[in-house]
Structure 1
Amino acid sequence: MTTTKRKPARRGKKSSPAAKAPRPGRRPPFAAEPPLQQGLLEMATIGAQSFLWLATVVASVAALAGAAFGIWSLRPLPAYSSERVRVGSPFEVTFRIENASAWFPLSHLKIRCALAGVDASDMPPVEADGSKIPARLGPGEQASFTCPFRAGDLDVALRSELYFRSEYDLPVLGSLRLSDNGGPFVLNTRLLPPRWTAKPGKD
């Protein structure tokens, strides 16, 4: 009787670490999101900075506008008045101009006289005779001028309104010119002797 030799059972070989299937690489952990309170605080800080910047811009613009308005309000302005009308044409009268500014002079003043009314087309605007007006009319100073209209009777004058269109240098910046419209003025026969005065209800 023959006996069969059993082959000794082979022990399974342990697989080496290199033989193991590589594990998928681990992803780096996500950055932790800031807490809600911290996010709100950051948003509030950004909003406060934006509001402060906007408020600064608005305040700066308002300050510049206020300064510009203040300087503009100090600009020199001419004020007109009439001496009494003597015998002859009511337009042959001497007018006076005063620098109403307390700060700046009226420099290189030019005046143009104009009439409005039913007879205005017959008496076109004329350049005033400003030979007695100095090149620089200081604050509060006065000078005289005339409007060389052609002769007209009293009825024409009573139906007319007189205007003065003036031009003069802008203070500090002499290369720029300012303009001013004075009037209307009407012949006031209630005064004795009559004078050209500002029309009632007008500045």
Structure 2
Amino acid sequence: MLARDAGRTLRGVIVFALVAVGLAGIAMGLWALRPTPGYSSAAVTAGSPFEVAFEVRNQSPWLALDNLRIYCVLASVRGSSQPPAIAEATDLTLRRGAGGLAPGESATFTCPFRRLLPPASADDPGIAQRAEIYFRSQYDLPFVGTLRLTDNSPNYVLNTQLLPPQWTRKPEP
């Protein structure tokens, strides 16, 4: 009798564990399908590297990025004690009525990085080569409009080995 009760308890624990693992797998799969923005930079042809246009693309083939807001972050400048500075992207033109991007759609924007720099550093021509930037986006989760997601992009650095130079993802160490 005791062995039979222990067997039922063990079977219950195993069934519970399998259901929990299955639900966790479904949740992880749904989370992986969420829409995420991807970023790229236009080439720096003239003027300051901080005044270049950036592109944001909805990487999801199925779901839209609704109510999208992009913030530009000057993460660090090597050789400077300046703390990270954040400003909302300017000139962001979105085609969707809800202020978002349809699946696979892209838009351009600019970042007011020169305003984030101290006045003494804003005219330093080499400051862009020592800077690291990233983008913080906020958007509504599809089908659950009241839940806002925040996504931080990887860091970008000015790659002067490309001609013309452009902002590219910082290489992993």
Runs of at least 5 residues in structure 2 that lack an aligned partner in the other structure: 115-121
Q: Which residue does 2:107 correspond to in 1?
A: 143
Deviation at 1:86, TM superposition (A): 2.2
**Residues 123, 149 of structure 1: 8 Å contact kept:** no
Taking the aligned partners of 1:96 and 1:152, their CA distance within structure 2 comes to 25
Could you give the per-residue CA deviations for residues 127-151 of structure 1, whole angstroms, max 9, x where no partner exists? 1015313423122211111102226
Runs of at least 5 residues in structure 1 that lack an aligned partner in the other structure: 1-41
Map 1:149-164 → 2, pairs under 5 A: 149-150=113-114, 152-164=123-135
Larger Rg: 1
Q: Which SS does the other structure have where 2:19 is aligned?
A: helix
Matched, 1:133 2:94: yes
Deviation at 1:83, TM superposition (A): 0.4
Taking the aligned partners of 2:81 and 2:149, their CA distance within structure 1 comes to 26
Q: Which residue does 2:139 correspond to in 1?
A: 168
* RMSD of aligned Cα (Å): 1.9
Q: 1:49 to 1:122 in 2, by over 3 A?
A: closer
Deviation at 1:197, TM superposition (A): 0.4
- Choose which of 94, 98, 101 in structure 1 pairs with 2:57: 98
TM-score, normalisation: structure 2: 0.85
Q: 1:125 to 1:186 in 2, by over 3 A?
A: same
Q: Which has the higher contact order (CA 8 A, sep 6+)?
A: 2
TM-score, normalisation: structure 1: 0.73
Percent identity of equivalent pairs? 46
Q: Which residue does 2:15 correspond to in 1?
A: 56
Q: Which SS does the other structure have where 1:197 is aligned?
A: strand
Deviation at 1:123, TM superposition (A): 8.4
Q: 1:78 to 1:201 in 2, by over 3 A?
A: same
Deviation at 1:152, TM superposition (A): 4.6
**Residues 106, 168 of structure 1: 8 Å contact kept:** yes
Taking the aligned partners of 1:59 and 1:162, their CA distance within structure 2 comes to 43
Matched, 1:193 2:157: no
